[in-house]
Amino acid sequence: MRTLTIEGLSREMVALRASKEIHDGTYVNLGIGIPTIVSNWIEGRDVILQAEIGMLKTGPLATGDQIDQDLINASCEPVTELSGACYFDIVESMSIIRGGHVDLAILGAFQVSEKGDFASWLNPDRGYPHGVGNIGGSMDLAVGAKRVIITMEHTAGNRPKIVKECTYPLTARGVVDLIITDLAVIQVTPHGLVLKEGYPGLTTDEIQAVTGARLTVAQDFKEIDL
Amino acid sequence: MRTLTIEGLSREMVALRASKEIHDGTYVNLGIGIPTIVSNWIEGRDVILQAEIGMLKTGPLATGDQIDQDLINASCEPVTELSGACYFDIVESMSIIRGGHVDLAILGAFQVSEKGDFASWLNPDRGYPHGVGNIGGSMDLAVGAKRVIITMEHTAGNRPKIVKECTYPLTARGVVDLIITDLAVIQVTPHGLVLKEGYPGLTTDEIQAVTGARLTVAQDFKEIDL
Amino acid sequence: MNKVYPSPDEAVSDIPSGAVVALGGFFTCGTPTYLTKALARLGVQDLTIIIQSFGVGATEVNELVENRQVKKVIGNYPFYRSAERGAQHLFEQLVRFGKIAVEVYPMGTFVEKMRAGGTGIAAFYTPTGAGTLVAEGKETRIFNGREHVLETALKPDFALVHAWKGDTEGNLMYRKTARNYNAVMAMSAKVTVAEVEQLVNPGEINPDCVHTPGIYVQRVVKVDRLNITPSAG
Amino acid sequence: MNKVYPSPDEAVSDIPSGAVVALGGFFTCGTPTYLTKALARLGVQDLTIIIQSFGVGATEVNELVENRQVKKVIGNYPFYRSAERGAQHLFEQLVRFGKIAVEVYPMGTFVEKMRAGGTGIAAFYTPTGAGTLVAEGKETRIFNGREHVLETALKPDFALVHAWKGDTEGNLMYRKTARNYNAVMAMSAKVTVAEVEQLVNPGEINPDCVHTPGIYVQRVVKVDRLNITPSAG
């Protein structure tokens, strides 16, 4: 058995893999972190981005003269608007999200469980009072989007982030459809986790070894398809 | 004792009396019937009319070239807009009404009780199935407006419309503040109805005789103040 | 993301019998005339129609009644104000004889139920209707000393709405009081079809003035502006 | 109906200690900078502040913390994303040591609670937060096979909001994503004070493009447009 010191996919490549899950003609919300990078891979495609702050058709990050202080994304970065954009308030934005109008949300997470629960908003290590953390739009996206994909590192140091039961406070229960990490693509099914794709050269046993929940290997298991 | 064949105030005069309850600098919603006529008496005053259909600063009825098919009131009459008007959808319109943002609603009724209940939306004589009638915005205005004034004929034929208990299906319970009829102005208080003003020449006993609930005569009872 | 359909008939062609269909408009104002006529031509049956008002104004709605396509109406102001006119009206006759079921709600509850359907809220407590026939058979509860009625979400299968301006991706703008029920029905339905008087390209509507974000709208049809005389019939 | 106040200080002068005050804005975008500074100058204490975020962006909000005017915060994203930066931030330190109470809600619940306060709905059932810490101590109920959490209305005493354009009667228009929380806070509060970059006469805003109808706004103050560099701190 070899030691796993493998690099895995870069964040950019994880985002690229995630971008392949986006169908043309759909509305997508991208969370903070790796999901934000996904936007670089869909420029020019027939995909409309929704932003929590109250916008449809968010364009790429604004630079130089494009920067408008009244036009930011949920990470407070200046962005641009594409032709046909529209603005609305956060009540409407949350109606769009919670009401099931967004086709796909791609989010980050601390942990994902084999049941499709995930935890993303409260790191207990920060030591805040009970139940206090940065929720943002994550819980609404989790319950409202028609499909939820989590993109994240496969492990935090040596600790698996894909687990049997989340130990961090949950964002939502049973909502994750697909997990895309630097090492694998894993589908959440009613029968547990199915390993669909792996990092080139890694065996399924090696992936299982860094995963905290049991993986069933898909019949069509293959190398991650970029 | 004389027979009451008195005419009482015309609908226009009832509306005029009601208009005196409107304070400058307030937002007012006027119902169908006599309340609609009130708008004639407040032209030029610093009062803003709210319309259920989704408008602030409704102006007088439109005539001739002013008529715009996209600009009507809740009675489907073409109206005009005053400078500074704005439009919104009916969800927002009902937020304004139910949310307590309207200072005064002037509405019509079939019956008003001594407790301030009133009935205005379902005439059982029309013979519809149980609970089916034209509600419109009446129930929302009744519970939402900061002050509710009912303008109506004092009686329907010989039948009192001001009663101990409403026999018609209620619009709302305990919400009426003031009743203005062709014969009297009556305040609803926690201790019952107080007769404040009467039609010139009518005695308080004569008004009591055509009223189905007990009236307390106000110490400052006077002729209707037009 | 081109959502333009070539005709009203094609835009409503998959509405099945038994569907729940919301029709925008307030009396004669902002009604989806072309789409409603297309629905009448389609001839599907057993429809549940969500609409402010049946008797008054928009005659094309009555085609649905004359064709016996309507099983049930959910609305707010179903009848003519005048009892005499109402008595002569086919819709009211069918209601009286139990051929069409009618469910009425206070205006605020009516729209809030649809908004709840569109916004993913299952139910809400409103003070409107407490202590009246509207509350019959419903749960009530005291909040802040005041009785409230529990009302649940209403989510139409389809909404047919009328807008003044729309772009090819479904962003809509309404004109004056023609906005009325159209906006909430558009956000509420599973499939929203909008007829628009002016069809424009993305970017031609001021992004700060869009009333219905395109994400709520699945289909757009260009229609001519009709000349309508406002009238409560 | 002239609602114009001569200065931010005069427009907030009656906010008492212990008041519940909502502050619009999302990080650095659309924040009521002038009104917040005026509230800091006013020096009232024991405030409950309703705001998206404390740590990030808008520094004038931190003046309220430095002055020890804040008893409690109700929000959605209170802290810096970076633990290191947060640890150095007075607000987070005060929270950690229990000097400022914090109540957080999912974004949709946070705004829906305020909307409920403004629209006269006492409470609502949302699927968001079900099965999480957010639902602790709250009633839950199954609708359509899915667990929902009962959340109640939140009605601030005052809202301080920032708008791009406002007329003297309080009709407001926001610009791009600066609309964010401002609209719902304006409709929710008992008293709403708006600072506006452009103060115009009634009729100078397109009536179809008003975002906040004037009926929700009690006071309007003209302020200069600031030059802000968007930054999450």
Check if B81 is active-site.
no
Which helix (H) or strand (E) is A162 found in, with range?
A: strand A162-163
Residue keyed to tokens 């009970």: A130
Kindly tell me whether chain B and chain A come into contact, counting contact as 3+ Cβ pairs under 8 Å. no
Kindly report the nearest CA distance between residue C56 and chain D, in angstroms.
26
Q: If chain B, 226 residues long, is cut into consecutive pieces of 10 residues, what is the mean pLDDT of each piece?
A: 72 98 98 93 95 96 95 92 98 98 98 98 88 95 98 95 98 98 98 97 96 98 94
Query: Any idea what the Cα angle at residue A102 is, between residues A96 and A105, rounded to 5°?
Result: 120
Residues 58-117 of C with CB under 8 A from D: 108, 112, 116
Which one-letter DSSP state was computed for residue A25? T
Query: Do the Cβ atoms of C123 and D126 come within 8 Å?
Result: no
Whether D3 shows a pLDDT value over 50: the answer reads yes
Calculate mean pLDDT across residues C87-91: 88
Sheet containing A162-163: order of strands: A118-119, A111-113, A162-163
- List phi, psi (to 5°) of C28: -95, 5
Kindly report the nearest CA distance between residue C163 and chain D, in angstroms.
13
Residue keyed to tokens 């130990």: A167
Exposed, middle or buried by CB within 10 Å (0-12, 13-18, 19+), for D129? buried
Kindly tell me whether chain B and chain D come into contact, counting contact as 3+ Cβ pairs under 8 Å. yes
A/C interface, count of CB pairs below 8 Å: 62
Task: Give the pLDDT band of residue C83 (cuts 50, 70, 90).
Answer: confident
Kindly report the nearest CA distance between residue D3 and chain B, in angstroms.
10
Residues written for chain A: 226
Question: Which residue in A74, B42, A171 sits closest to D81, CA to CA?
Answer: A74
User: Nearest-CA residue of chain A relative to D31?
Assistant: A70
Mean pLDDT of chain A: 95
pLDDT of residue C218: 98
In angstroms, rounded to a whole number, what is the distance separating the alpha carbons of residues D131 and D139? 11
pLDDT of residue C232: 65
In angstroms, rounded to a whole number, what is the distance separating the alpha carbons of residues D101 and D97? 10
pLDDT of residue C56: 61
Torsion of CA A165, A168, A174, A176, to 10 degrees: -110
In angstroms, rounded to a whole number, what is the distance separating the alpha carbons of residues D97 and B3? 81
Whether A128 shows a pLDDT value over 80: the answer reads yes
Query: Do the Cβ atoms of D128 and A133 come within 8 Å?
Result: no
Query: Could you tell me the maximum CA-CA distance found in chain A, to the nearest angstrom?
Result: 55
Question: What are C172's strand-pairing partners?
Answer: C166, C212
Question: Which residue in B160, B137, B158, B168 sits closest to B213, CA to CA?
Answer: B160
Q: What is the pLDDT of residues D172-197, one digit of tens each?
A: 999 999 999 999 999 999 999 999 99
Cβ of residue C121 closer than 8 Å to a chain A Cβ: yes
Whether C109 shows a pLDDT value over 60: the answer reads yes
Sorted by sequence, the CB contacts under 8 Å of residue A30 that are 6+ apart come out as A36, A38, A39, A49, A105, A106
In angstroms, rounded to a whole number, what is the distance separating the alpha carbons of residues D149 and D133? 11
Query: Do the Cβ atoms of D176 and C208 come within 8 Å?
Result: yes
User: Nearest-CA residue of chain D relative to B23?
Assistant: D1
In angstroms, rounded to a whole number, what is the distance separating the alpha carbons of residues B126 and B149? 26
Q: Contact at 8 Å (CB) between C171 and A82?
A: no
- List phi, psi (to 5°) of D191: -130, 125
ipTM of the complex, rounded to two decimals? 0.97
Residue-wise over A106-145: b if at least 16 C-beta within 10 A, else e? bbbbbbbbbbbbbbbbbeeebebeeebbbbbbbbbbbbbb
SS (H, E, C) chain D: CCCECCCHHHHHCCCCCCCEEEECCECCECCCHHHHHHHHHHCCCCEEEECCCCCCCCHHHHHHHHCCCEEEEEECCCCCCCHHHHHCCHHHHHHHCCCCEEEECCHHHHHHHHHHHHHCCCEEEECCCCCCHHHCCCCEEEECCEEEEEEECCCCCEEEEEEEEEECCCCEECCHHHCCCHHHHHHHCCEEEEEEEEEECCCCCCCCCCCECHHHCCEEEECCCCCCCCCCC
Cβ of residue B87 closer than 8 Å to a chain C Cβ: yes
pLDDT of residue D88: 86
User: Nearest-CA residue of chain D relative to C207?
Assistant: D176
Which residues of chain D neighbour C123 with C-beta distances below 8 Å?
Answer: 124-125, 143, 148
- What's the pTM value of the predicted model, to 2 decimals? 0.97
Task: Give the pLDDT band of residue C58 (cuts 50, 70, 90).
Answer: low
Residues 155-174 of C with CB under 8 A from D: 173-174
Query: Do the Cβ atoms of C133 and B32 come within 8 Å?
Result: no
Cβ of residue C144 closer than 8 Å to a chain D Cβ: yes
The residue of D132, D225, D226 whose CB has the most chain A CBs within 10 angstroms, and thus the best one to mutate to test that interface, is: D132
Q: What is the pLDDT of residues C200-221, one digit of tens each?
A: 999 999 999 999 999 999 999 9
pLDDT of residue B141: 98
Question: From residue C187, how far is each of A140, C22, C118, C183, D210 by CA, in Å?
Answer: 17, 11, 5, 6, 19
Whether C55 shows a pLDDT value over 70: the answer reads no
What whole-number percentage of chain A has pLDDT above 90?
Answer: 89
Cβ of residue D211 closer than 8 Å to a chain A Cβ: yes
Question: From residue B182, how far is each of B21, B121, B176, C39, D39 by CA, in Å?
Answer: 16, 21, 17, 49, 51
Residue A46, classed as helix, strand or coil, is coil
SS (H, E, C) chain B: CCCCCCCCCCHHHHHHHHHCCCCCCEEEEECCCHHHHHHHHCCCCCEEEEECCCEEEEEEECCHHHCCCCCECCCCCEEEEEEEEEECCHHHHHHHHHCCCCCEEEECCCEEECCCCEECCCCHHHCCCCCCCCCCCHHHHHHHCCCEEEEECCEECCEECEECCCCCCCCECCCCCEEEECCEEEEEECCEEEEEEECCCCCHHHHHHCCECCEEEEEEEEECCC
Q: Contact at 8 Å (CB) between D111 and D77?
A: no
Cβ of residue D127 closer than 8 Å to a chain A Cβ: yes
Query: Do the Cβ atoms of D115 and B96 come within 8 Å?
Result: no
Kindly report the nearest CA distance between residue C183 and chain B, in angstroms.
6
Whether C31 shows a pLDDT value over 80: the answer reads yes
Q: What is the pLDDT of residues D69-109, one digit of tens each?
A: 999 999 999 988 888 888 888 999 999 999 999 999 999 99
pLDDT of residue C212: 98
In angstroms, rounded to a whole number, what is the distance separating the alpha carbons of residues A162 and A160? 5
Give chains near B: 3+ CB pairs under 8 A.
Answer: C, D
Which residues of chain C neighbour A48 with C-beta distances below 8 Å?
Answer: 1, 169, 214-215
User: Nearest-CA residue of chain D relative to C210?
Assistant: D209
Which residues of chain C neighbour D210 with C-beta distances below 8 Å?
Answer: none
Task: Give the pLDDT band of residue D55 (cuts 50, 70, 90).
Answer: low
Cβ of residue D94 closer than 8 Å to a chain B Cβ: no
The residue of A80, A92, A95 whose CB has the most chain C CBs within 10 angstroms, and thus the best one to mutate to test that interface, is: A95
Query: Any idea what the Cα angle at residue C40 is, between residues C38 and C43, rounded to 5°?
Result: 110
pLDDT of residue C103: 96
Question: Which residue in A181, A56, A212 sits closest to A106, CA to CA?
Answer: A181
Cβ of residue C212 closer than 8 Å to a chain B Cβ: no
Which residues of chain C neighbour D116 with C-beta distances below 8 Å?
Answer: 124
Question: Which residue in A222, A199, A221 sits closest to A209, CA to CA?
Answer: A199
pLDDT of residue C80: 85
Question: Which residue in C122, C127, C123 sits closest to C149, CA to CA?
Answer: C127
Query: Do the Cβ atoms of A99 and C120 come within 8 Å?
Result: yes
Which residues of chain D neighbour C173 with C-beta distances below 8 Å?
Answer: 208
Query: Do the Cβ atoms of D108 and A94 come within 8 Å?
Result: yes
Question: What are A50's strand-pairing partners?
Answer: A56
Task: Give the pLDDT band of residue A1 (cuts 50, 70, 90).
Answer: very low
Cβ of residue A144 closer than 8 Å to a chain C Cβ: yes
- List phi, psi (to 5°) of B72: -130, 165
Mean pLDDT of chain C: 95
Torsion of CA C16, C21, C27, C28, to 10 degrees: -50
